[in-house]
Amino acid sequence: MTEMVHGTVPVAAGDPILPRWWRTIDKWTMSCILILFGIGMLLGFAASPPLASKNGLDAFYYVKRQFGFGALALLTMFIVSMMSPQLVRRIATIGFAAALAAVMLLPVFGTDFGKGAVRWYSFGFASVQPSEFLKPGFVVVAAWFMAASQELGGPPGKSYSFVLAIIIVAFLAMQPDFGQACLVLFSWGVMYFVAGAPMALLLGLAGMAVAGGTFAYHNSEHFARRIDGFLSPEVDPRTQLGYATNAIREGGFFGTGVGEGTVKWSLPDAHTDFIIAVAAEEYGLILVLAIILLYCTVVVRSLIRLMRERDPFIRLAGCGLACSFGVQAMINTGVAVRLLPAKGMTLPFVSYGGSSVIASGIAVGMLLAFTRTRPQGDLGDILLGRGR
């Protein structure tokens, strides 16, 4: 049956874990992630020194930290990708519970670092943004609930997952972090759609999201300021969006040249939220298109492999992780080119940030674990729920 679904992949029962992992892993996806991290390090050499200079630090202080964070993220990705889906589910559930508790306690123990949103825990030598770790855990837990609801006599898992999503969105909105809240809702919507939700219900949920955004606009100065800035017909050249827009325009097709960009000296978030502006200015549209192609390859490859997966939990969780990864990249680049309002969201594996890159490593590790080639079992056993 394996050959009929995935092609011939010789995996013996007692095969050592590393050879079995290497034969079953999606090498295209893994290669794209490694290339994205390499591009992130390359851009870090351009974007980080100005910030280090302003803070009186070694020129490559942030580059060294990013390399350390990235090495830890890649190691975590490789370890998680070797796990079975059942082990991934158990660990994700524990991690999700811890991250949710941390998000709930942010109003008491968190800090905003002067940015107007309480999203981080500061430990002096480092800071942690728990919402980054909440996302992959939520996707796996919600997929587990939805898959359980498809079993005979199963619980109302779709309803449970929806209530959980609303709770998370409420706490994220309190920070406020509407970007992460939208990403959580989007991930849940994708999995709900794959699980067989009627289109009318999804349209109703979209209407609820619009109503929620309208309410936030009239009741949150932080949210309203970003929406007004996005809708304004003219861009203030002294704002981050103004600097980013000018940098992208100056870069053209081939860029101004390595180290010749100037936006990194003006943008306070050039190494994080607006790293794509640095790429566009110094390396041009060519590098930006290459980065977009890498993200598209990860998402499309993963979804194609998941289409052949019979286990509903694996299929739902994998789709949620892949789409969340791709949409986060789309939001980051969309903000830089002013297609979307500013949301303070990093570019996975490219932007600087410990929480972001490590959480991305965990998420992609889960995705690689779910998309590994594996025997699909007999269809009758799966329909009757045997062999789990």
Is residue 379 over pLDDT 60?
no
At residue 121, what are phi and psi to the nearest 5 degrees? -105, 125
Per-residue pLDDT, 230: 67
For range 139-147, the mean pLDDT: 96
Is residue 10 over pLDDT 60?
no
Choose the weakest-confidence range: 140-144, 203-207, 219-223.
219-223
Q: Please indicate, yes or no, whether the overall pTM of this predicted structure exceeds 0.85.
A: yes
At 320, which amino acid appears? G
Q: How far is residue 293's CA from residue 287's CA, in Å, rounded to a whole number?
A: 10
* Helix 312-336 vs helix 130-149: crossing angle, to nearest 10: 140
pLDDT tens for 11-51 read: 555 568 888 899 999 999 999 999 999 999 999 988 888 88
For range 345-352, the mean pLDDT: 91
Per-residue pLDDT, 362: 97
For range 192-211, the mean pLDDT: 79
Per-residue pLDDT, 59: 85
Is residue 1 over pLDDT 50?
no
Per-residue pLDDT, 133: 95
Per-residue pLDDT, 129: 92
Is residue 269 over pLDDT 80?
no
Q: How far is residue 121's CA from residue 103's CA, in Å, rounded to a whole number?
A: 10
Per-residue pLDDT, 375: 73
pLDDT tens for 84-126 read: 999 999 999 999 999 999 999 998 898 887 777 788 898 877 7
pLDDT interval class at 76 (50, 70, 90):
very high
Per-residue pLDDT, 380: 45
Per-residue pLDDT, 41: 94
Using an 8 Å Cβ cutoff, are 345 and 335 in contact?
yes
Residue 216 CA from chain centroid, whole number: 23
pLDDT tens for 146-197 read: 999 888 888 889 989 999 999 999 999 888 888 888 899 999 999 998 988 7
Using an 8 Å Cβ cutoff, are 139 and 321 in contact?
yes
pLDDT tens for 276-293 read: 989 999 999 999 999 999
| Arithmetic mean of pLDDT over the chain | 85
Residue 175 or 208, more confident? 175
Candidate ranges 201-210, 254-263, 271-280; pick with highest mean pLDDT? 271-280
Q: How far is residue 152's CA from residue 383's CA, in Å, rounded to a whole number?
A: 10
Per-residue pLDDT, 388: 45
Residue 195 or 198, more confident? 195
